[in-house]
Structure 1
Amino acid sequence: MTESAEDAKLLPAVTAAVLVIGDEILSGRTKDRNIGYIAEYLTAIGIDVREARVVPDVEEEIVDAVNALRARYTYVFTTGGIGPTHDDITADAIARAFDVSIGEDPRAIAMLLEYIRPEDLNDARRRMARIPEGARLIVNPISKAPGFRIGNVIVMAGIPAIMQVMLDNVAPQLTTGIPIISRTVRASCREGDIAADLGLAAQRHPAVSIGSYPFMEDGQYGTHLVLRSRDTQALEEAYNEVAALVARVVPTPTARLA
């Protein structure tokens, strides 16, 4: 067994949930682009995203979701609802979830003044400087309005470009685990052609997650078999068995790293 695999057995998993906040997502007016980005980013640094939720701009629902998720996972990453308008209520909801006060933060005001002229810092823009008591600010080099972190909850903007730079800034502060490695076997066959044998292979390799994902290309059916594990040796053994399985079913399988 590899050293990293041994470590993976000894260390608890670092887990996360993503909470997307906003009526515009639920109505379909805005298409979410944050969940997938955050999940891929966190997976690469050894944090397992276990759940994603979308809630409306309703304080009670935000509070309930934050409290449920922060009790269940190592981290909760929220996006949306920290702008200057009346329906940007995420900061207030987070303060309520943690039972702390909220007010205008001088540090956040100073950040906003790097981008906004003092005479343009109206009441609406000052809303973006309202931060729950005890929270640490997350730098936003694009528009300067900060995100914040309180406890295990990381609160970020909904605009993808701003969320991404906030995530870059907060990531070095996070506890991370051993990243998951994945490999893919591309099979030119239908899922049903290999499902039974693939299930047996999965039973023989419990340290490896094996998933099958059908696709169609140029009018032909195919299946991507994706193997994921923190144990490189176990992954290689499972990969070799699955590749051999596909070779028996399909004359010329194509396998590649992913």
Structure 2
Amino acid sequence: MTSEGYPTVFWKDYYQYGMKPIIDNLIWIHEHIAYGTTQERWKDEDVFVYERTGGHRLLVGLNDNEIASKTVTVQTGFAPYTRIHDYTGNAPDRITDASGRVTITIPANGYVAYSVSGITGTFPIQEQPLTQEFAGAVDLDIPPADNARFVRVGRICVAARKPIVAELYWDAGNWTDATSIVVELRTARGRLMRRLTVTRSTRQGAQLSFTPFNTRDYEYYEFFIRSYNTPPQNPKPSYWLKVTYTAPRTLR
């Protein structure tokens, strides 16, 4: 997450595997210090050290030896006699020598990220809507529409008094005038809030909209879908549901 480009964070790593504090720290480094091109400073069978050359500069050391820490001396772009701080908290401060070189120790199976001391900053919280897409089909984790029952499409968490807009696209192959699909928006407790019905004559992208009136910070809602009178050639129609809403800033 200190290299060039924009990293991907996996939900399970962040919320389920206890890595949130580690990832939060690396995101902070990525957004506040990791700028510019990359210059290699050291590479061997265990250690890779590189420097991001923009902004305040960032010296990153990676050690994949699971048993032993590794100490290396590398050239840097920092000025002579500069105190540099490890913003991961994994190693103590160091001071470059008269040539801008520095000796760093990287913990076993660990990493360090050094830059000049005293860098601070926070992330402003900006509220904006997002669009989440759900696709249901026989070969996907989310089932297709079903004639026999309502199928749960997915759950969303919506900030108080922020609108929900859902667009439905569906496979209408071989439909008759009697065929339809119904989408329901329910609260997490099962209360029906809105219903959308589409038929053979309905245009793709039909919308369901609802603005929560709850006074709490946020509320969970769930989408369900069911088909009626589908033809034998298309008994369980696939669909694509695009949902635009505003998530809460924090979860309690």
TM-score range, shorter chain: under 0.3
Q: Which has the larger radius of gyration?
A: 2
Higher strand fraction (1 or 2): 2
What is the TM-score of this pair, normalised by structure 1? 0.26
Higher helix fraction (1 or 2): 1
What is the TM-score of this pair, normalised by structure 2? 0.26
